Amino acid sequence: MDPKKIEINKQNKQNRDNLEFSYCLGRRSYAQKEYLMLQENPSAQISRADKWLAAHEHVDGTILERAKSKYDQVKAAANKRKSRSLGGEGCTEAYEDIDNDEIAEVFGKQKKGGVRAIGSYVSKKQLTHLSVAKSKIEQKDRALKDATDGKHEVLSRIDGLERLLLSVFSKLEKMEKTSRTPTSSSELGSNSNIGTLGVTQVPPSNTRAENPRIYLCDKSGKKNSNGACGDRWYI
């Protein structure tokens, strides 16, 4: 019996009477409906038109009678936009443009207040900012993913190069060990002057000096003419 409460109820009734048609969500919000749709198909890209169409379908799949005319218009606009998108003529924006989508094509551009098929508690400005922020986050995630993939590719190439260098070094070590192996005497030619120990062998001379001269030398190797001085002598 509160006068203020009676006035609010009266205004709510008038607002309901002014509605062209209602929806089939019950106590659920559009956000909850979108969540349930994603649970059924996690990879789906759900637009504002998809949520509006789903909100005006009964549980058995039938369409709300009072919304049938607008339902058909929204569905036709959505199919037309999808066909243009498949043909390469569709919108390629990273976020949803609520002023130029299927709902705006059928009902007109969104005015002040809530956003159709989004909620009465979300304004057009908030939704636009949220969409832009979401788009930037998605771009950042893609950039991080590309950078991670590039890092893995570089590391893979470095590993391949390291294995190649190790293989080359191994072959060089084997070649160096092979070159250091001593050559046996049987592998040397008959006219070679190199012995097994690496000492130069001077072939013996057949001619021998007859009556060789012998000189007495001092400690420094200087020849002594008379051979009579000094304690020690060297030949």
User: What was the pLDDT predicted at 229?
Assistant: 46
Contact 117, 25 (CB under 8 A): no
> In this predicted model, what pLDDT tens digit does every residue of 48-93 receive, in sequence order?
899 999 999 998 989 988 888 999 999 999 888 887 766 554 444 4
- Is the Cβ–Cβ distance between 24 and 73 less than 8 Å? no
- Per-residue pLDDT at 89: 47
Q: Quick check: 51 and 37 in contact, CB under 8 A?
A: yes
Cα separation, 98 vs 110, in Å, equals 8
- Please report the pLDDT score of residue 91 as a whole number: 43
What is the average per-residue pLDDT within 188-210?
48
Q: What is the pLDDT of residue 17?
A: 80
Separation CA 104–CA 76 (nearest Å): 13
Quote the pLDDT of residue 76. 92
Cβ contact 33:51 at 8 Å: yes
Q: What angle do CA 143, 144, 150 make, to 5 degrees?
A: 90
Give the residue extent of every domain in the chain: 3-121, 123-167
Q: What is the dihedral of CA 208, 209, 213, 217, to 10 degrees?
A: -50
Confidence of residue 35 (pLDDT cuts 50, 70, 90): very high
pLDDT over threshold 60, residue 206: no
- Does residue 133 contact residue 141 with C-beta atoms inside 8 Å? no
Average pLDDT over residues 130-142: 82
Mean pLDDT throughout 113-118? Answer: 82
Highest mean pLDDT among 34-38, 44-48, 177-181: 34-38
Give the model's pLDDT for residue 74: 92
Are 30 and 117 in contact by the 8 Å Cβ rule? The answer is yes
The pLDDT value given to residue 7: 93
At 183, the pLDDT band (50, 70, 90 cuts) reads low
Average pLDDT of the segment spanning 118-141: 81
Percent of the chain exceeding pLDDT 70 equals 72
Phi, psi of 114, rounded to the nearest 5 degrees: -70, 170
Task: Give one word for 211, left, alpha or beta, with left for phi > 0 and alpha for psi -120 to 50.
Answer: left
Residue 171, pLDDT > 50, answer yes
- What local confidence, expressed as pLDDT, does residue 225 receive? 60
CA 51 to each of CA 7, 26, 32, 33, 170: distance values in angstroms, whole numbers, following the listed order: 33, 14, 10, 7, 66
